């Protein structure tokens, strides 16, 4: 890393989040990117990385798409009204109409905000206002965001621990289980059922074909609103504008964010029915009862419009379906001989490669030892290998450390898909055939232990790992 960038990183570590810098250092992933374009990231040492993460589905249109960049420049150049909080932002109307038309069903109104979590917060409040009920249902393994309300809809203790009491009246049910859903809905206490059409951080879990339409019918029967969190799956990520469109389901509310503004400006949107909007903004007095300063800001709205232009003009939905099918087909064929490969799943260019514990004794001992150190250790080793050796950026799913998420920008091409599959084979082959994979893991574990505060707890485990490796 260059001198200047070290100083910049020091100020980040000093004044923002030192643990993040240490974690990236530890993983050997602390790279300074100078320029990003399409599917490629260029580091200051000249290395080119292929992005197969897309910032967790932010960069559907690719990094710094020139059309979107130009639209933003023009918006700045026109010196128009921005965040006056005292006028009618026309661009917001235009974007709302395009989003609602694309979403279809009974979705006719939009509320704009600046993130996915903020969208989920709005949907919580709106569903309560529209139903006069308090309860909220969600799925085990879900990821809905890290603000207090959204976090109340997540059952993974990793995210919740240390943040005190969250919203009361929230209940988790298994994903893809209409019976469990109906049992809860029958109580009549739920304002809304929040669900991701495809669970992303939960392990790229695609539900059975009729689950979501059954959920819609059940919600209707018991007076509960169906809220689809399409923060990762929306904006053609799975091939259709909404993942819901694969399942023929019409929600009462849909939350969008991430890719909505071309990866350049924070934005979120909640699409909803007329009835819900009227229940919230029910009188002149309540005209601004739920809003926020940056909601409907001109740059975000302009970016949203330009992003839709690109997604539609370049037909990135069709591309997503074709390349996603190709990717999973190639991966399945190539990785089939390896015992730790459990399969691929996904929709469009949102795919997961699932790994399973090995049965072969030598592999099993190492795997179990690393899992004992930390459940995420094995997955992070994979991610590190992809990054450092293959120059490909990926990540494990946040709530399932055995599933590697692969979500390249939708502007990827088939050569890059083939390249990724070759790289995956090399990584998986090493995992099965080379002691280097496991000994490097041990070195990583050691470094992690050196910087971990609870060093004593880990020390015993290190002895286990070392004895396994030397066995």
Ligand X SMILES: Cc1ncc(COP(=O)(O)O)c(C=O)c1O
Would you name the residues annotated as active-site residues? 143, 229, 258
Stretch that binds ligand X, among 46-54, 73-81, 111-119, 415-423 (CB under 6 A): 111-119
Stretch that binds ligand X, among 23-31, 74-82, 115-123, 155-163 (CB under 6 A): 115-123
Q: Burial, 166: exposed, middle or buried (Cβ in 10 Å; 0-12, 13-18, 19+)?
A: middle
Q: Is residue 143 at the binding interface for ligand X, with CB under 6 A as the rule?
A: yes
- Percentages helix, strand, coil for the chain (3-state, rounded to 5) are 50, 15, 35
Q: To the nearest whole angstrom, how small is the minimum distance from the Cβ of residue 257 to ligand X?
A: 5
Binding residue count for ligand X, defined by CB under 6 A: 15
Contact 31, 47 (CB under 8 A): yes
Q: Which residues on neighbouring strands pair with residue 205, listed in sequence order?
A: 199
Q: Is residue 196 at the binding interface for ligand X, with CB under 6 A as the rule?
A: yes
Q: To the nearest whole angstrom, how small is the minimum distance from the Cβ of residue 142 to ligand X?
A: 8
Name the phi and psi angles at 393, rounded to 5. -90, 120
Buried residues in 296-331 as b, exposed as e (16+ CB within 10 A): bbbbbbbbbbbbbbbbeebebbebbbebbbebbebb
DSSP state of 285: G
Contact 124, 135 (CB under 8 A): no
Residues 439-458 that bind ligand X (CB under 6 A): none
Contact 249, 213 (CB under 8 A): yes
Residues 236-275 that bind ligand X (CB under 6 A): 257
Among 117, 170, 277, 416, binds ligand X (CB under 6 A): 117
Compare residues 56 and 211 and give the one whose CB is closer to ligand X. 56
Compare residues 344 and 399 and give the one whose CB is closer to ligand X. 399
Q: To the nearest whole angstrom, how small is the minimum distance from the Cβ of residue 78 to ligand X?
A: 28
Q: Is residue 145 at the binding interface for ligand X, with CB under 6 A as the rule?
A: yes
Compute the distance between CA of residue 375 and CA of residue 401 in angstroms, rounded to an integer: 7
Q: To the nearest whole angstrom, how small is the minimum distance from the Cβ of residue 268 to ligand X?
A: 6
Compute the distance between CA of residue 193 and CA of residue 174 in angstroms, rounded to an integer: 12
Q: To the nearest whole angstrom, how small is the minimum distance from the Cβ of residue 58 to ligand X?
A: 9
Q: The tokens of 117 are what?
A: 């979590």
Q: Is residue 71 at the binding interface for ligand X, with CB under 6 A as the rule?
A: no
Among 131, 184, 200, 216, binds ligand X (CB under 6 A): 200
Compare residues 201 and 252 and give the one whose CB is closer to ligand X. 201
Binding site for ligand X (CB under 6 A): 56, 115-117, 120, 143-145, 196, 200-201, 229, 231-232, 257
């Amino acid at each position: 890393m260059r001198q200047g960038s070290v100083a910049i990183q020091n100020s980040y570590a000093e004044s923002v989040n030192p643990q993040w810098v240490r974690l990236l250092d530890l993983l050997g992933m602390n790279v300074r990117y100078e320029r990003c374009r399409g599917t490629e990231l260029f580091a200051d040492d000249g290395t080119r990385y292929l992005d197969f993460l897309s910032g967790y589905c932010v960069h559907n249109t690719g990094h710094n798409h020139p059309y979107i960049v130009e639209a933003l420049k023009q918006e700045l150049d026109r010196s128009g009204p921005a965040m006056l909080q005292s006028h009618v932002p026309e661009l917001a109307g235009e974007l709302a109409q395009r989003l609602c038309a694309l979403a279809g069903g009974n979705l006719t109104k939009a509320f704009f905000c600046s993130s996915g979590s903020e969208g989920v917060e709005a949907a919580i409040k709106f569903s309560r206002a529209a139903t006069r009920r308090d309860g909220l249902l969600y799925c085990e393994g879900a990821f809905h965001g890290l603000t207090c309300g959204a976090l109340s809809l997540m059952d993974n203790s990793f995210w919740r621990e240390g943040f005190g009491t969250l919203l009361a009246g929230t209940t988790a049910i298994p994903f893809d289980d209409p019976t469990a859903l109906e049992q809860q809905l029958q109580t009549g206490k739920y304002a809304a059922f929040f669900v991701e059409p495809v669970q992303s951080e939960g392990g790229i879990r695609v539900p059975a074909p009729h689950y979501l339409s059954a959920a819609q019918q059940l919600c209707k029967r018991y007076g509960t609103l169906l809220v689809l969190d399409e923060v990762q799956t929306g904006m053609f990520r799975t091939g259709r504008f909404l993942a819901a469109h694969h399942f023929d389901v019409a929600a009462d509310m849909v939350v969008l964010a991430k890719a909505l503004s071309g990866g350049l400006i924070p934005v979120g949107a909640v699409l909803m029915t007329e009835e819900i909007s009227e229940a919230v903004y029910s009188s002149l007095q309540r005209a601004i009862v739920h809003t926020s300063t940056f909601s409907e800001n001109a740059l975000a709205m302009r970016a949203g419009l330009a992003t839709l232009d690109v997604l539609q003009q370049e037909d990135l939905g069709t591309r997503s379906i074709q390349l996603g099918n190709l990717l999973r087909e190639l991966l399945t064929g190539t990785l089939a001989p390896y015992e730790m490969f459990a399969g691929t799943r996904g929709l469009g260019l949102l795919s997961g490669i699932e790994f399973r514990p090995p049965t072969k004794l030598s592999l099993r001992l190492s795997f179990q030892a690393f899992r004992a150190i930390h459940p995420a250790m094995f997955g992070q080793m994979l991610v590190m290998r992809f990054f450092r050796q293959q120059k490909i950026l990926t990540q494990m799913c946040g709530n399932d450390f055995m599933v590697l998420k692969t979500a390249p920008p939708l502007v990827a091409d088939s050569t890059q898909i083939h390249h990724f599959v070759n790289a995956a084979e090399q990584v998986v082959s090493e995992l099965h055939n080379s002691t280097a994979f496991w000994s490097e893991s041990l070195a990583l574990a050691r470094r992690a232990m050196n910087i971990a505060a609870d060093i004593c707890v880990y020390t015993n485990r290190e002895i286990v790992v070392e004895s396994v490796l030397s066995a």
